[in-house]
Amino acid sequence: MSSSAWLTGVEALATLAFALSGLIEAARKRLDAVGVCVVAGLAAFGGGTLRDVLLDRRPFFWVEHAHWLWALLALCVLAMLSLRARHLALTERAVQWPDALGLGLFTAGGTELALAQGLPAIVAVLMGVITAVFGGVLRDIVCNEIPRAFHDHRPYAVCSFAGAWVVVGAQVLAAPQWLGLLLGAGLATLLRALALWRDWQLPAWRVD
Amino acid sequence: MSSSAWLTGVEALATLAFALSGLIEAARKRLDAVGVCVVAGLAAFGGGTLRDVLLDRRPFFWVEHAHWLWALLALCVLAMLSLRARHLALTERAVQWPDALGLGLFTAGGTELALAQGLPAIVAVLMGVITAVFGGVLRDIVCNEIPRAFHDHRPYAVCSFAGAWVVVGAQVLAAPQWLGLLLGAGLATLLRALALWRDWQLPAWRVD
Amino acid sequence: MSSSAWLTGVEALATLAFALSGLIEAARKRLDAVGVCVVAGLAAFGGGTLRDVLLDRRPFFWVEHAHWLWALLALCVLAMLSLRARHLALTERAVQWPDALGLGLFTAGGTELALAQGLPAIVAVLMGVITAVFGGVLRDIVCNEIPRAFHDHRPYAVCSFAGAWVVVGAQVLAAPQWLGLLLGAGLATLLRALALWRDWQLPAWRVD
C-alpha cells in the first residue's frame, strides 16, 4: 500500500469520526432525517469549508470530491437504519480515538494551507484550529447548544493550537514540509489522546 | 401580461411568504423592531446569500435589486403597526401556500445557478436546497431554536431535494432550460403542498 | 500627538470595549479558556469580518494587523487571571461608553467602505450596521442567547443606522470624506450615549 493510499485511508477514518459525532448529536436532539444529514455534514465538512470561505479558496473539498457527499448520505441512511439508543454512548466512546486523529490531521492541513498563502504565523495557527474545531462548533450551534469545544473544560482546541505551532515552527526552521505536517498532526493527536486518557481539565476561570 | 412580469410577481409573492415566516417567528420571540427586520430579512434573503457566498458569486440579489430592502423595511413597519396576536396563526396558515411556491422557485433557481458553474450534480442539488431552506434555518438559529426544517419531521427540504434532481435530470437529458426549471419548481411545490394537505411525516429515527 | 495616532488610540479603545463585552458574556456562561478567547474575538472582530466576507474584501483586519490577535490573547489571559464575579457588573457598566464610541466608529468605517465599492445607499448603510452590530450578534449566538441587539428594546442598531445615513448623506452632498465620517460616527455615538443616559426604549410590538 502506498503512503498516499494510507493517507487517504486515515483521512477517511477521521472524517467518518467527525460525521459520526454529528450523527450522535442529531440523534440526541431527535432531529429528523434531514437534520441528521445536515448536522453530520456540518460536523464533517464545516470546519474546512469555513476556513476556505475565510481564505477565499475554491473549490471546497466536497465540491472537488463530490463522491464524499454521497458517502455521507449513505452513512446517514445506514446509521438511521441500524443505530439504536444503546449504541450511542458506545459509538461516542469508540469515535473519540479517530476523532483525535482528525483533530491532528485537519489542524496540520489547515495550518499548512494558510502558510502557503503567506499568512502570518498566528493567522495560520488560527486557520488550523478553525479547520479542526469549527465543524463541531457549527454542529453544536445548529443543535442549539453552547459549543462543547468552548464549554466542557477538556483540552481540544488547545491540542490543535499546540500542533499548529509545530507546523509553523517546522516551516520557520526550513524543515521538510512532510516532517512539519507529521509532527504537528502527531502532537495534536497525542495531546488529545493523553487528555482523554488522563482526564485532563482546562483551568477554570474562577469567576466567583 | 408578459411571462417575465408573471415570474417577477410569483417571485415577489414567494419572497413575501419567506419574509412573513420571519416576521411571525420574531413576533413569537418578542423581538424588538431591529430584530423583526433582521429576522424577516434573513428568512427572505438568507438562503440565496449563503449560496452566493459558497459559490463566490457577487453581487447578491439584494445588492443588485436594493429596492427589495426598502420593500422589506416597509413590510416590517406595516406588519408591526397592523399585525396582532390573533392574526399570527392565521397569517402562518395563509403563508404556507406561497411558501411552498417559494420552496419550488428558489430550489430550481439555485440548482440552475450551480449547474451553470459546471458543479457536480450532487453539489448543484445541495445548492438548490440551501437556497430554498437555509433562510429559514438562519431565522431559527438567530431566534435560538433548533431549525424547524431539521426537527419537525415534516417534508420540506426533502421536497426541495426531489425538485432539484428534476432540474439536474433535465440538463442531463438536454431538455430546454425553462422546462427543467418549470418541472423542478413544480415538483417541489407540489410535493410540499401534498405534504401539507395530507399531513405527511418523515420517518422518525427510532433511536430508543 | 498626530490625528492618526489619536484615531488608532480611539479604535483600540473601541475594539477593547467590544472584546470585553465578549469576555463578560463568556464569563457569565462559564465558558472555558478556549471559549473565552473565541467569544471575545468574535465580539471584537466578527462584525468587520462578516462585512468583508459579504463584500468579498481581503485581507481581513486581523490578518493585515495580526498583532491584534496577540493583543486579544493577552487581554483574555489577563482578564481570566484578574477579573472576578464582583468586577463583571462594574466592567459592563464602564464598557458602555467606549462601546458607544465603537458603535460610531465601526458604523462610519463600514459604511464608507461599502460606498467606496459603489454600492447603493441602503446596502452601504446595512454594511455599516453589520460592521458595528454583528460582532455582538455572533457573540450571543455562540453563547446560545437570542442576540441582545434584537431583543432588549434599547436603541443600538438604530443609532448605528442613523449614523450610517449621515455618512451616505455627506457623500451625496459632496462633503469632504473626513467630515462625513466624523459626523456619522459622532451622531451614532451621541444617540447611543443619550439612549443609555435617558434610558430610551424602542417601541414594542404590541402583539397581544
Q: What is the DSSP letter of B150?
A: G
Positive or negative CA dihedral for C34, C36, C39, C45?
negative
Upstream peptide bond of B59 is cis (omega within 30 degrees of 0): yes
Å from A94 to nearest chain B CA?
18
Residue C206 has pLDDT above 80, yes or no: no
- pLDDT-wise least confident of A197-206, B164-173, B185-194: A197-206
Residue A3 has pLDDT above 90, yes or no: no
Which helix (H) or strand (E) segment holds residue B38: the answer is helix B33-55
Give the per-residue pLDDT at C3.
Answer: 67
Question: What is the rounded distance in angstroms from the CA atom of residue C145 to the CA atom of residue C128?
Answer: 23
Question: What is the rounded distance in angstroms from the CA atom of residue A186 to the CA atom of residue A163?
Answer: 7
Considering only CB atoms, C27 lies closest to which of A120, A137, A205, namely A205
Q: How confident is the model at residue B3 (pLDDT cuts 50, 70, 90)?
A: low
Query: Which ipTM did the prediction report?
Result: 0.94
Distance (Å) of CA C161 to CA C108, C121, C196: 10, 12, 17
CB B132 within 8 A of CB B201: no
Give the per-residue pLDDT at B173.
Answer: 97
Read off the pLDDT of residues C96-142 as tens digits, 9 standing for 90 and up: 999 999 999 999 999 999 999 999 999 999 999 999 999 999 999 99
Helix A33-55, helix A121-142: angle, nearest 10: 160
- Tell me the CB-side half-sphere exposure of residue A94, using CA atoms within 13 A: 9
Give the per-residue pLDDT at C165.
Answer: 98
B82 touches chain C (CB under 8 A): no
Considering only CB atoms, A142 lies closest to which of B121, B122, B141, namely B141
CB B35 within 8 A of CB C150: yes
Residue A112 has pLDDT above 80, yes or no: yes
Q: How confident is the model at residue A142 (pLDDT cuts 50, 70, 90)?
A: very high
CB C52 within 8 A of CB C135: no
Buried b (16+ CB within 10 A) or exposed e, B166-178: bbbebbeeeeeee
Residue C208 has pLDDT above 70, yes or no: no
For residue B136, give the C-alpha cell: 429559514
Question: What is the rounded distance in angstroms from the CA atom of residue A40 to the CA atom of residue A32?
Answer: 12
The angle formed by the CA atoms of residues A184, A187 and A188, to the nearest 5 degrees, is 85
Give the per-residue pLDDT at B166.
Answer: 98
Residue B1 has pLDDT above 70, yes or no: no
Read off the pLDDT of residues B6-38 as tens digits, 9 standing for 90 and up: 777 888 888 999 999 999 999 999 999 999 999
Read off the pLDDT of residues B107-161 as tens digits, 9 standing for 90 and up: 999 999 999 999 999 999 999 999 999 999 999 999 999 999 999 999 999 999 9
Could you identify the residue written with the cell 469549508? A49
Give the per-residue pLDDT at B7.
Answer: 73
Mention every residue, 6+ apart, whose C-beta is less than 8 A from residue A104: A132, A160, A163, A184, A185, A186, A187, A188, A189, A190, A192
Give the per-residue pLDDT at A203.
Answer: 81
Q: What is the DSSP letter of B132?
A: H
Read off the pLDDT of residues B60-117 as tens digits, 9 standing for 90 and up: 999 999 999 999 999 999 999 988 888 888 888 889 999 999 999 999 999 999 999 9
Q: How confident is the model at residue B49 (pLDDT cuts 50, 70, 90)?
A: very high
Å from A88 to nearest chain B CA?
9
Q: How confident is the model at residue B206 (pLDDT cuts 50, 70, 90)?
A: confident
Chain-wide mean pLDDT for chain B? 93
* Contact call for A54 and C60, based on CB within 8 A: yes
Q: How confident is the model at residue A8 (pLDDT cuts 50, 70, 90)?
A: confident
Residue C81 has pLDDT above 60, yes or no: yes
Å from B147 to nearest chain A CA?
7
CB B159 within 8 A of CB B131: no
Residue B46 has pLDDT above 80, yes or no: yes
* Phi and psi at residue A193, to the nearest 5°: -65, -40
Give the per-residue pLDDT at B8.
Answer: 79
**In 3D, which of B32, C31, B60, B188 has the Cα closest to residue A152?**
C31
* Smallest CA–CA distance from C147 into chain B, residue: B142
Read off the pLDDT of residues C34-57 as tens digits, 9 standing for 90 and up: 999 999 999 999 999 999 999 999
Question: What is the rounded distance in angstroms from the CA atom of residue B188 to the CA atom of residue B103?
Answer: 7
Give the per-residue pLDDT at C205.
Answer: 80
pTM (predicted TM-score): 0.96
Considering only CB atoms, A31 lies closest to which of B119, B123, B151, namely B151
Give the per-residue pLDDT at B55.
Answer: 96
Read off the pLDDT of residues A146-195 as tens digits, 9 standing for 90 and up: 999 999 999 999 999 999 999 999 999 999 999 999 999 999 999 999 99
Contacts of C80 in chain A (CB under 8 A): 205
First to last CA, chain B: 56
Upstream peptide bond of A59 is cis (omega within 30 degrees of 0): yes
CB A124 within 8 A of CB A114: yes
pLDDT > 90: percent of chain B: 84
Considering only CB atoms, C202 lies closest to which of B32, B58, B143, namely B32
- pLDDT-wise least confident of A52-61, A106-115, B80-89, C172-181: B80-89
Residue A104 has pLDDT above 70, yes or no: yes
CB B135 within 8 A of CB B46: yes
Q: Which chains touch B (3 or more CB pairs under 8 A)?
A: A, C
Other residues' Cβ atoms within 10 Å of the Cβ of residue A144: 15
A117 touches chain C (CB under 8 A): no
B36 touches chain C (CB under 8 A): yes
Compute the count of residue pairs across chains A and B with CB atoms less than 8 Å apart: 74
Residue A1 has pLDDT above 70, yes or no: no
For residue A137, give the C-alpha cell: 462548533
Residue A206 has pLDDT above 80, yes or no: no
User: Domain map of chain B by residue range?
Assistant: 3-198
Using CB atoms within 10 A of its CB, is residue B144 exposed (0-12), middle (13-18) or buried (19+)?
A: middle
A83 touches chain B (CB under 8 A): yes
Question: What is the rounded distance in angstroms from the CA atom of residue B106 to the CA atom of residue B133?
Answer: 9
**In 3D, which of B115, B123, B14, B126 has the Cα closest to residue B61?**
B14
Contacts of A165 in chain C (CB under 8 A): none
For residue C10, give the C-alpha cell: 480611539
